[in-house]
Structure 1
């Protein structure tokens, strides 16, 4: 690579990650704007990598064979290894994101095992591969998936955000918050996931309320909410809220300057659950989102707090 090659331009690579966050993660992106400016590029890089891998699984390779989709993830992992070793990554699609992530990993000394666990969970989303799960029988099974898909995201963030306690003390809370966000996503996206042939909400818990995949597909097709499904979704909302409560003490373990941004993410993601309830649990034919005016109402006071340096 020559010095003028755009793939060798780290500012451009980080800018690509920032654009991905702005385009695809509205709540996430708003929360990052409350973080200290010097921390934001690393947070964008973490998001950009997760989003890029998710697109490889669910967008870019739709219609391709399971082997091709799994191979695409293997290529991304190899590219990350190359970038961490200082070798060139020329792929115009993934190269900038991988380079920004590698720089972030080196700068903040984030364990590479977190990213390997994330990729392993993403492989579980590819039909036809040995580890594929179209559904999960129990919450224990699901949480094994969520370790790689969500808990490690919280663990990746900790070195970037910084803590006022030993990092190991804050890690369980960061992992729990990652799981809370992920379960919120599962509730918000249950209809879209069903179209992809996936049901993340555990079958045993759904079955306790008389819900199965056929009933969910009927509700998706007709735009209705069966009372049994409403009760099941209410149960999962309660489970998610318990995860949020368990994670909350970890917010005060973060460095004071990053707390407003993470508090905004905590509040706004939690309010997606309110929107799920307010819609009458109509998540199979629509996507629950927090209105923009509400996002701003939460973010602006926290922004003022961040500017003045108050906790």
Structure 2
């Protein structure tokens, strides 16, 4: 995958200002991420900042204190904005800098913007308090909120078309996102439970006697909490092992 136009040339002043806004958002809200992408070529750094700023907007709606029905409206509005970006309805002089920057980035790089629709789908699941019966159910959620981000990022980073298994690069990016999201779920198990959410599959919780949840100071009495954690960690490690097959394919420029 290569840029569709030269990302370093012919960038208008309004687009540069829009990218600057996105880089400011990234620097303020994701300092570690911002430091990491500083090493990228300028065009890729700008595009990643635009992706981050749009994704952050979606996440902030889901994580905010608004009533669920208001969040749903805001997410619908954001999805409509994404459709305008995809259809070429955002010009350099639009008043939304994130939309301007993302629209330009999508013209420069082969970014699969449908991944941002998936991200919105995942946040909608969170707003509705979705629970997951099986691993396949949870994996769908993880693909929306994390796997999609991997595929979007791959559109910017690019993959070497001559690399072995290059045709599976998007699949491996997706799998790496699943591994990272499952790791996040395990890390935040207690915090999520205190907020009324348990993301792990109900069938896994039942298998290890943990259906009562984790909102108390100790795991449920008689449960095999250690067994549950080992089971999920093994699953995450297997996903990481597969997802890491992406790394040799990435364009290192």
TM-score category (smaller protein): 0.7 to 0.9
Contact 2:90 2:100 in 1 (8 A): no
Deviations 1:177-213 (A, max 9, x none): 111121122122223332443221112112211112x
Q: Is residue 115 from structure 1 mapped to residue 119 from structure 2 by the alignment?
A: no
Secondary structure at 2:127 match in 1: coil
Q: Is contact 1:216-1:229 (8 Å) kept?
A: no
Match of 1:256 in 2: 252
Residue 235 to residue 120, structure 1, CA distance change in 2 (3 Å):
same
- Measure how far apart 1:176 and its partner are: 0.9
Q: Distance in 2 between matches of 1:22 and 1:181?
A: 22
Q: Which whole-Å CA distance do the structure 2 matches of 1:114 and 1:49 have between them?
A: 12
Q: C-alpha distance in 1, partners of 2:124/2:145?
A: 10
Deviation at 1:152, TM superposition (A): 1.6
Aligned length: 233
Match of 2:37 in 1: 32
Question: What do residues 105-133 of structure 1 show as CA deviations (whole Å, max 9, x unaligned)?
Answer: 22213233222222122211113xxxx51
The superposition leaves residues 162-183 of structure 1 with CA deviations (integer Å, 9 ceiling, x where unpaired) of: 1112653311111111111211
1:186 equivalenced with 2:190 (yes/no): no
Q: C-alpha deviations, 1:91-110, integer Å up to 9, x for none?
A: xxxx3223222221222132
Taking a change above 3 Å as real, the CA distance of residues 225 and 155 of structure 1, as seen in their structure-2 partners, is same
Q: 1:42 is paired with a residue of what secondary structure?
A: helix
Q: How far does residue 89 in structure 1 lie from its aligned partner after superposition? A: 5.0
Structure 2 spans left out of the alignment, 5+ residues = 1-12
Indicate yes or no: 2:141 matched with 1:145: yes
Q: Could you say if the C-alpha distance between residues 240 and 217 of structure 1 is closer, same or farther in structure 2, counting changes exceeding 3 Å?
A: same
SS of equivalent residue, structure 2 residue 208: coil
Name the CA distance, whole Å, in 1 between partners of 2:240 and 2:74. Answer: 34
Per the TM alignment, residue 27 of structure 1 is displaced from its structure 2 partner at its CA by: 4.4
Given that 1:82 and 1:89 are in contact with CA atoms closer than 8 Å, whether structure 2 keeps it comes out as no
Q: Answer yes or no: is the 8 Å Cα contact 2:198–2:213 preserved in 1.
A: no
Counterpart of 1:202 in structure 2 is 201
CA displacement, residues 208-234 of structure 1 (integer Å, 9 cap, x when unaligned): 11112x440113xxxx46673333223
Cα offset for 1:253?
0.5
**Aligned to 2:59, what secondary structure does the other structure show?**
helix
Task: Tell me what 1:77 maps to.
Answer: 79
User: Structure 1 residues 241 and 96, CA, compared in 2 at 3 Å: closer, same or farther?
Assistant: same
| Cα distance in 2, alignment partners of residues 89 and 72 from structure 1 | 19
Higher mean Cα deviation, 109-118 or 156-165? 109-118
Q: Distance in 2 between matches of 1:26 and 1:240?
A: 26
> Could you give the per-residue CA deviations for residues 248-291 of structure 1, whole angstroms, max 9, x where no partner exists?
1210011123xxxxxxxxxxxxxxxxxxxxxxxxxxxxxxxxxx
- In 1, the alpha carbon distance for the partners of 2:139 and 2:187 equals 18
CA RMSD of aligned residues (A): 2.4
Q: Which SS does the other structure have where 2:107 is aligned?
A: helix
Over 3 Å counting, the alpha-carbon distance change for 1:208 and 1:53 in structure 2 is same
